[in-house]
Amino acid sequence: MKGGGDAVSAARAVLQTGEYDSAWNMQVEDEILRKLESGGNAKGHVEFVPSSWIEHIQLNSTYPWTEVDGEYSSIKTKHPLLSDPAVRQALKLLVDRASVQVGIYGRAGVTTANFINAPERFVSKNTGWDFDIDKANQVLEQGGWKRQADGIRAKNGKQLKLVFQTSINAPRQKTQAIIKQACQKSGIDVELKSVTASVYFSSDVANPDTYAKFHSDLQMSAATLIEPDPGRFMRQFVSSEIAAKDNKWQHRNFTRWRNDEYDKLFRAAEGELDLVKRAGLFIAMNDMVVEDGVVIPVINRHWVAAMSRSLKAKLSPWDNHFGNLRDWYCEV
């Protein structure tokens, strides 16, 4: 199994040179994957499996550029730009999901407006998404954000300038570029920041560039629901889970968003045994974080793995012995 290095090299080592039998989590543009697995000399193929992975943008509820008690993005601060509903609404309209899906992810994902994308009973039918630069301009104009001589909008002496960070890999950098271009057309100045993945996703409390510390206005990453129930997954928006200095940034609420109604819904879901009511509570939670602009879902990513054509599946005696029981269990 190929690990380490960059994703394109890992894909090439399986699909083209045949040095390895498999490589997983291929964060590689689909156009490149198609080229690597095409031709008579290709040594492997790519497998795509639907999943709950959600590539999304987080909006910082706190202010990352002011230090309070030795901490940036402190819960004691409020973001002067992103606390404005007009700005959050405009940003939601400036994410061109279709271009991201077609031009970058291809077979590896589908556009979505939901944070919860599986299992099906928890997926909201209430949400939708639009890419509309003209409408974003209208929203900002009505919200009092006026274009200045340099083309950047401002209100009450504050310019609409944002820093947008993510980890280094080609699909994310290209997604950043697509969003930056749309924002420019609406008078929002976006500075892009890219951080090495081993640093960005680190739990090192001394590192200022981790996504848990969130020292930027916007950030992008992926999250996944790995259990068949979204309870643990949606805990990341509960007020008690806010990542902060006093918990060494180990808690999961990186946006620092606080909402009493959300907390009540989550607590109600913890004790709800009726499956239909429980699903309804999580759908309401999903709708709340999406509609309020806490997160902007972009792509529901598939599991993507490069596999050697020489790999074969082999059934063991246990598969035959427990086959019926296994099928019954999966059905339940």
DSSP 187-236: T-EEEEEEE-HHHHT---TT-TT-TTT--SSEEEEEE---SSSSHHHHGG
* Burial bucket for residue 311 (CB in 10 Å: 0-12, 13-18, 19+): exposed
User: How do residues 52-109 score in pLDDT, each as one tens digit?
Assistant: 999 999 999 999 999 999 999 999 999 999 999 999 999 999 999 999 999 999 999 9
Q: Which residues contact 20 (CB under 8 A, 6 or more apart)?
A: 1, 2, 10, 13, 14, 308
Q: Lay out the sheet containing 158-159: strands in order across.
A: 146-147, 153-155, 158-159
Instruction: Determine the pLDDT at residue 203.
Output: 92
Pairwise CA distance, residues 125 & 133, whole Å: 24
Return the exposure string of 60-69: e unless at least 16 CB atoms fall within 10 Å of the residue's CB, then b: bbbbbeeeee
Point out which residues pair with 194 in neighbouring strands: 166
Instruction: Find out whether 213 and 73 touch, Cβ atoms under 8 Å.
Output: yes
Give pTM, 2 decimals.
0.92
**pLDDT band at 312; cut points 50, 70, 90:** confident
Instruction: Determine the pLDDT at residue 5.
Output: 80
Q: Which residue has the higher pLDDT, 4 or 179?
A: 179
Give the domains, in start order, of the chain with CATH numbers. Answer: 57-300 (3.10.105.10)
User: How do residues 9-45 score in pLDDT, each as one tens digit?
Assistant: 999 999 999 999 999 888 999 999 999 998 778 899 9
CA atoms within 13 A on the CB side of 182: 22
Backbone phi, then psi, for 316, in 5-degree steps? -95, 165
Instruction: Find out whether 194 and 173 touch, Cβ atoms under 8 Å.
Output: yes
Instruction: Find out whether 147 and 153 touch, Cβ atoms under 8 Å.
Output: yes
Instruction: Determine the pLDDT at residue 230.
Output: 97
Backbone phi, then psi, for 307, in 5-degree steps? -130, 135
CA atoms within 13 A on the CB side of 118: 16
